[in-house]
Amino acid sequence: MDVNYYGFTIHYVDKEWKYRCVVLDFIPSRGRYNGEDIATIFHECLLEYDIIDKIQGITVDNAIANTKFMYELDKLLPHFDSDNQHFQCLGHILDLDVQGLLKTLALYSETDNNGQEQQYEDYEDETEEDEEYAPNLADSPKIYNKITRYFQ
């Protein structure tokens, strides 16, 4: 069985106005990846380190489980307002945008049997193969590396 982990980091500006980033905890999952479990594990971590009242914001990717995590965290932390303290990760948003752009470019241009580039006149004529094509980061490692390096 694969073991998944949750990594919690804290980011703050210290008394000398220096930006700090610290790994708070690295916790093995309990086998399920859903918002309720993430919220419970996160809440327990906050209690353990006695920082439950210090959360000013949370940044996560756009996974559905993370949306549920924010909803569940609202219940566990009465002072937490997920509408105003939940921030989506810019690196992940850019990645999704780049993947969408690559998909559009792949659908827009195609080569014919003679090696000549053709362009679709109408996007409505997409084939099932085109609809299923979703480039992943392996198709564009240079773009992904630049994006992630920029936001670290």
Least Cα distance to 106 among 96, 117, 92 occurs for: 117
Q: What pLDDT is recorded for position 49?
A: 92
Residue 115's domain comprises 90-150
- 81 with 94, same domain: the answer is no
Q: What's the distance, CA 48 to chain centroid?
A: 26
Q: Do residues 58 and 86 touch, judged by C-beta distance below 8 A?
A: yes
Is the pLDDT at 104 greater than 60, yes or no?
yes
**9-24: b (≥16 Cβ within 10 Å) or e:** eeeeeeeeeeeeeeee
Residue 114 pLDDT class (50, 70, 90 cuts)? low
Last residue of a domain, one of 67, 88, 109: 88
Whether residue 126 is found in the same domain as residue 80? no
Burial of residue 39, with CB atoms counted within 10 A of its CB: 0-12 exposed, 13-18 middle, 19 or more buried: buried
The residue from 51, 72, 88 where one domain ends is 88
The residue-averaged pLDDT of 110-134 equals 49
Choosing from 72, 88, 104, the residue where a domain stops is 88
What pTM did the predictor assign?
Answer: 0.57
Per-range mean pLDDT, top range of 22-31, 38-47, 55-64, 92-101: 38-47
Give the pLDDT confidence of 46-72 residue by residue, as tens digits.
899 998 888 877 878 777 777 788 888
pLDDT-based confidence at 6, cuts 50/70/90?
A: confident
77 and 114 belong to one structural domain: no
Same domain, 80 and 126: no
Q: Are residue 80 and residue 33 in the same domain, yes or no?
A: yes
pLDDT for 125 beyond 60: no
